[in-house]
Amino acid sequence: EAGVAQSPRYKIIEKRQSVAFWCNPISGHATLYWYQQILGQGPKLLIQFQNNGVVDDSQLPKDRFSAERLKGVDSTLKIQPAKLEDSAVYLCASSFHGLQETQYFGPGTRLLVL
Amino acid sequence: SQQGEEDPQALSIQEGENATMNCSYKTSINNLQWYRQNSGRGLVHLILIRSNEREKHSGRLRVTLDTSKKSSSLLITASRAADTASYFCATDAGIYNQGGKLIFGQGTELSVKP
């Protein structure tokens, strides 16, 4: 079974530029999560989708971050404009139906904002 | 704020020794999970223990859960150099959780020297 795919793996941009990350979850997984992991810390949930609907986006900085999951499969996370403090690893995860179960993580996208 | 807090933050042992990591949390939970993260990689699920379970085993891993103390421990027996990684506990938010959201601690960085 293929795992969670993410691209790109690395991205370097200058502050105030925009960037987009892509995630393809495990086939059949209804729930998709985007996490931000700052160096030395645990992942922090940014947004959770159930199919193509948003379940939780309480920690998403909505003035600059946006995410969508059209058709309930792939998802994109966008930052516009980026700030220095957005430098982090952005992890995508998926689970079968999201209720109290294992989440499967992709390799992450490492973002450096200069 | 973090739900789970790991202790110690860093642990260095010799190959063959046992490694014990602890996690404390603040609110009632439905389950607690442990994940491993190798440097530059995504997280890998290790084990899930439900709130009505006290101990669970998986290979060289043993997890305990004490809901009265709101704490859990992860024991890795007969450690190997390949166990070198960061280990995170993750909890749901119990009755306040919506849709399976996980809250991660800051992790324990384990180094196993050959």
The pLDDT assigned to A52 comes to: 86
Mean pLDDT across B22-40: 91
- B37: its two tokens: 């993260």
CA distances from B41 to A55, A114, B44, B110 (A): 26, 22, 9, 15
pLDDT band at B111 (very low <50, low <70, confident <90, very high): very high
Please give, rounded to a whole number of angstroms, the shortest distance from the CA of A30 to a CA of chain B: 11
Q: Which candidate from A31, A105, A110 shows the least CB-CB separation from B43?
A: A105
pLDDT band at B58 (very low <50, low <70, confident <90, very high): very high
Is the model's pLDDT at B19 over the cut of 90?
yes
Please give, rounded to a whole number of angstroms, the shortest distance from the CA of A107 to a CA of chain B: 4
> HEC string of B49-107?
EECCCCEEEECCEEEEEECCCCEEEEEECCCCHHHCEEEEEEECCHHHCCCCCCEECCC
pLDDT tens column, A17-73: 999 999 999 999 999 999 999 998 999 999 999 988 998 899 999 999 999 998 889
Mean pLDDT across B55-83: 97
Q: Which candidate from A4, A42, A106 shows the least CB-CB separation from B104?
A: A42
Question: Quick one: closest CA in A to B6, which residue?
Answer: A42
Mean pLDDT across B13-17: 97
pLDDT band at B1 (very low <50, low <70, confident <90, very high): very low
Contact B107 A93 (CB under 8 A): no
Is the model's pLDDT at B28 over the cut of 90?
no
Give the residue carrying structure tokens 């996690």: B23
Contact A103 B45 (CB under 8 A): yes
Is the model's pLDDT at B92 over the cut of 50?
yes
The pLDDT assigned to A2 comes to: 81
Q: Which candidate from A44, A98, A107 shows the least CB-CB separation from B41?
A: A107
B-chain CB neighbours of A41 within 8 Å are 106-107
- A46: its two tokens: 């940014």
pLDDT band at A1 (very low <50, low <70, confident <90, very high): low
Contact B45 A104 (CB under 8 A): yes
Long-range contacts of A66-75 (CB under 8 A, 24+ apart): A67/A34, A69/A32, A72/A30, A73/A24, A73/A25, A74/A22, A74/A23, A74/A24, A74/A25, A75/A22, A75/A23, A75/A25, A75/A32, A75/A34, A75/A49
Is residue A9 less than 8 Å (CB to CB) from chain B? no
Is residue B88 less than 8 Å (CB to CB) from chain A? yes
Mean pLDDT across A108-113: 97
Is the model's pLDDT at A97 over the cut of 80?
no
Q: Which candidate from B2, B4, B99 shows the least CB-CB separation from A98?
A: B99
